[in-house]
Structure 1
């Protein structure tokens, strides 16, 4: 039986975060680092810097947005956030945004820069994965030769 794996093209989410006013810079950076780690653990790639609209680039997964929203809502340092799909659908309201459903439909230079950074992070992940695969080929080859010879 043959199993076929289809690679879905990545999609992106537009993320806007407003910090609590009493949060100091070090705490903001710690929250951002935690978000970066949270995303990386789920195969998502973050680009940009808060409070500008930041982009999370992910292989398309329908439940990721809800998981991200729950994680953001649980963070005490975040006063408001909004996550929009690449098709500009609103997932969580943020009063300061314009456009249909509360999401800005035109990407700003900051959003485009964040998208490029997220794409770069995704590309770096692919390069590292490919390099890991290349690195283990000799070990696999030796193991296969040993298996064939009955060792």
Structure 2
């Protein structure tokens, strides 16, 4: 995947996917104003910190060196350095996002199955990019399973879209 200076997607080459994604980690760069007592949520599993994705905690101390101490809801306390704060968010509105669906998703991985797309909104559009036409046939039948009202099969070409 390549981004231009405005951070818009310029290209995505599925044949390069394994090399591109092996070391990839996704996070949204930004600034959070954090105070003592703030509720935070970890958005990624971190074995070194011993935290799971979605785990919640409360900031108990802010250090002069931009470190912070967080007491997790599990009772464990962990110290965060600035390098370990890339996968954090505010921890107040977790339940309000249950039924929200993503507008755009880039899915990578060799283990994608028909079931992976069954939860997609019937009004959403799915663009599937593959390195070969073979996966197109599999996912067009997945589309038939999830939305039987669609009569036309997907075009089977190198890059194609399936309308949900």
TM-score above 0.5, yes or no:
no
Question: Does 1 or 2 have the higher relative contact order (CA < 8 Å, sep 6+)?
Answer: 1
TM-score of the two chains, using structure 1 as the length reference:
0.22
Q: Per residue, is there more helix in 1 or in 2?
A: 1
